[in-house]
Amino acid sequence: MLLSKIWLIPKIIVILLVSATSPWFLPQPILYKAIILITTLTLLLYVNFKKSIIKVIFFVFYIALIFAQVFSTDIKNTYNFSDHRKYLHQNRLDQYPPSLARVGNIIENHLDSPIIYQTQQNFFESLDLVNYFKNFFPIVYIFPFIFGLYKFLKHPNGLLTITTIFSVLLLSVVGIHGSYGPIIIFPIIAIIISHYPFEK
Amino acid sequence: MKNKLFLLVILLFSFFVYTYKLDQVPSSVYVDEAVTGYNAYSVLKTGKDENGKLYPIYFRYFNAYSPGLYTYSIIPLIKLFGLNSFSVRLLSALSGTFSVFIFYLLIKIFIKSKSKAQIATLFYAILPWTFFNSRLGYEVMYAATIFNTGVYLLYKKFPNISNLGLFLISLSTYASHNQRYLAPLFIIGYFLIIKKPQIKTLLILFVSQIPNLILVFTPAFWVKNNVFSLKFILLQFITYISPKTLFFELPDIDQQHLVPKISIFYWWMIIPLLIAFKKISPGNSKKYQLLIFWTIISLIPASLTGEFISIQRALPFLFPVGIIISLGLVQINKIFLLIAFPYSLFLLFRSYFFFLPNEQYLAWNYGYQQVSDFSLGHKQETILVDNSRNIRNYILPLFYQKYDPASYQKSLGNFISSNYYRVPPQLGEYHYNNLTFAPIKWNEIKNYDYIVSDGLSVSPNQAEEHGLILIKKIETKNNQTSQEIYKVVKSNQ
């Protein structure tokens, strides 16, 4: 227990360092900064100590973060397709021979409709490492991130796994192009960088 | 017996899908295919490449040097089937089919169950990137297959050293730039992680590298070696490993590398990849250590070379990642896989046979067959083909016309062949027969009888101002213009 507490100090320092050096975190409004930081720290405390009370506090701030994510994202814009995409869609429909036109309609307008494709795009954009390490975090953090991610996948923590899945699913629906970007992912990346590389 | 039969079915199926409509889809010949095919044809007819160099080790293709093993290897196919898209692409299809077999042998080392290994192999055979590269008329799949066969032989003799395996890895450096970077890294890593080499092994490697060593002090050896910052290299690296790149959308700047609505792997394969992470660990065994090492270094050539993301340079990454995904795939419920297979096959065929020919025709240099035919039909007249947006297009009519290589070599003179490896190639203007390939210079167009534009280089106003009459539009199946042919009205006419 004492050892865990001692190990917590460098982890908190890393979280503060990641936050202070993130070109993504710094320009956020002060309220958002506070919510993000408290969510991150409570998540760190939970994965270290697994206390119910910490989990409750985490959920309170995580829900606030969900609201922040949803209200800072223009969902309508996410599903407002460009003329080029509409043209491509129509062009692809036209490529089905007349005998398969009905099948083509079912596939292109229902099973693999532009909305489903956009949701897939949102999903993979929410996992796009290039976006995160080119725009949101200094590139040097990629090393502890990959190392930490590997350890996380080997020994997943339940709460962090649920948080990750829910955050990615949420971003898959609302898209990542909000005023403040996919802020809901920040605590997850920060924990992977700060906590897991120190784990055995 | 049943297992062997199923494997045979998988191989026959792979060969069928890699060769199905091979001469028709992609619908035209890409410049890299044309340059490979024409140079093989040139060597077949004269023993020299298009520039007149006798049996070169590296070929001068456009503004770079390329290892020549693929070019030499397709000579028998060109002899057999003639110079056409089928003969140029067939070796890749055969390599792809053989790579499926090698994949099976290799995955069997990690997955003991034969039936599970076969299921994994079946999915490898229809991976979008296996499929796409197995139908290209240039070296990437061939080189990767030689390299991967070498790796398999090393795994087979594990932890001892297979000299044949190392020889094949060394040989792959003569097939593609990727392997020239990858092979030394892999071999050094193998010696450090697995086993130190004996003198005989080092001697084999040294002897097999003599042709490369002969050229090591020439610019020909050091092409595609721009120096970039560490940040740039890291960004390149994470672009290749990003789930968005692997499973959803390629960030490649070259449209020819893209297949609409599909990426390297199917989108759902992110699930087996995540499952596989639970299974693999460097602590498991040295075999896994080598797999992880192989996976990481296979991206180094792509990350170190090139200013832009070129997903074909990351082809060596496909095989080890394919193995890792398979380790997760075989853990998945069989019913899921039974649905996933036809679904994936549908996605592949839809993208490749429906969307690709209709959307990527310009990237695949559509229309030059018709330009070539036009020039043959107007032998007494001069034709300027605008090359301002496609400076490598001179090779396409050479390919389509099967232009006599000896005549072309003669027209170039001796300078290039006598300074072949010392003076790096520059792209510029090209002339043969009645054709000139150069950017349009308006004050010189009266020297020509016809101008071939790519549809963008001549506006209606320019045509009117300079006395050009549009006589032919070359259009794709869905009525998109790929080229326009103008007749130049001379002032005395």
Q: Are A49 and A4 in contact (CB under 8 A)?
A: yes
Tens of pLDDT, residues A96-120: 888 988 999 999 999 899 999 999 9
Sheet holding B383-386, edge to edge: B430-432, B435-438, B383-386, B450-453, B481-488, B468-475
Confidence of residue B102 (pLDDT cuts 50, 70, 90): very high
Please tell me which residue, B402 or A94, carries the higher pLDDT value: B402
Confidence of residue B290 (pLDDT cuts 50, 70, 90): very high
Structure tokens at B213: 């060593």
pLDDT of residue B467: 92
Considering chain B, what percentage of its residues have pLDDT values greater than 90?
A: 79
Q: List the one residue out of B116, B154, B468 whose CA is nearest residue B323.
A: B116
Distance CA B477, CA B358 (A): 7
Residues of B with CB under 8 A from a CB of A: 231, 234-235, 238-239, 241-245, 247-249, 251, 260-261, 267, 270, 274, 277-278, 281, 350, 354-355, 358-359, 478
Indicate the DSSP class of residue B262: B
For the cut 80, the answer to whether the pLDDT of residue B1 exceeds it is no
Q: Are A47 and A160 in contact (CB under 8 A)?
A: yes
Confidence of residue B358 (pLDDT cuts 50, 70, 90): confident
Helix (H, G, I), strand (E, B) or coil at B358: helix
Q: Out of A92, A107, A154, name the one closest to residue B281 (CB).
A: A154
Structure tokens at B269: 């394969």
Chain B residues within an 8 Å CB radius of A117: 261
**Which of B350, B359, B476, B479 should be substituted to probe chain A, the one whose Cβ sees the most A Cβ atoms within 10 Å?**
B350
Mean pLDDT over the full length of chain B: 93
Distance CA B115, CA B10 (A): 12
Considering chain A, what percentage of its residues have pLDDT values greater than 70?
A: 98
Taking CA atoms, B8 is separated from B55, B330, B350, in Å, by 38, 20, 26
- CA distance, residue B273 to nearest chain A CA (Å): 11
Beta carbon pairs, A and B, within 8 Å = 63
Distance CA B202, CA B193 (A): 16
ipTM entry: 0.92
Residue owning tokens 């020297």: B447
Q: Which residues contact B215 (CB under 8 A, 6 or more apart)?
A: B57, B58, B221, B421
Distance CA B451, CA A184 (A): 57
Structure tokens at A187: 């605590």
Q: Are A144 and A99 in contact (CB under 8 A)?
A: no
Chain B residues within an 8 Å CB radius of A120: 248, 267
For the cut 60, the answer to whether the pLDDT of residue B8 exceeds it is yes
pLDDT of residue B90: 98
Tens of pLDDT, residues B78-100: 999 999 999 999 999 999 999 99
For the cut 80, the answer to whether the pLDDT of residue A2 exceeds it is no
Q: Helix/strand/coil (H, E, C) string of B139-185?
A: CHHHHHHHHHHHHHHHHHCCCCCCHHHHHHHHHHHHCCHHHHHHHHH
Q: List the one residue out of B280, B239, B276, B272 whose CA is nearest residue B344.
A: B272
**B278–A154: do the CB atoms touch at under 8 Å?**
yes
**A142–B234: do the CB atoms touch at under 8 Å?**
yes
pLDDT of residue B226: 65
Chain B residues within an 8 Å CB radius of A91: 358-359, 478
Q: Write down the pTM of the prediction.
A: 0.94
**Which of A85, A95, A117 should be substituted to probe chain B, the one whose Cβ sees the most B Cβ atoms within 10 Å?**
A95
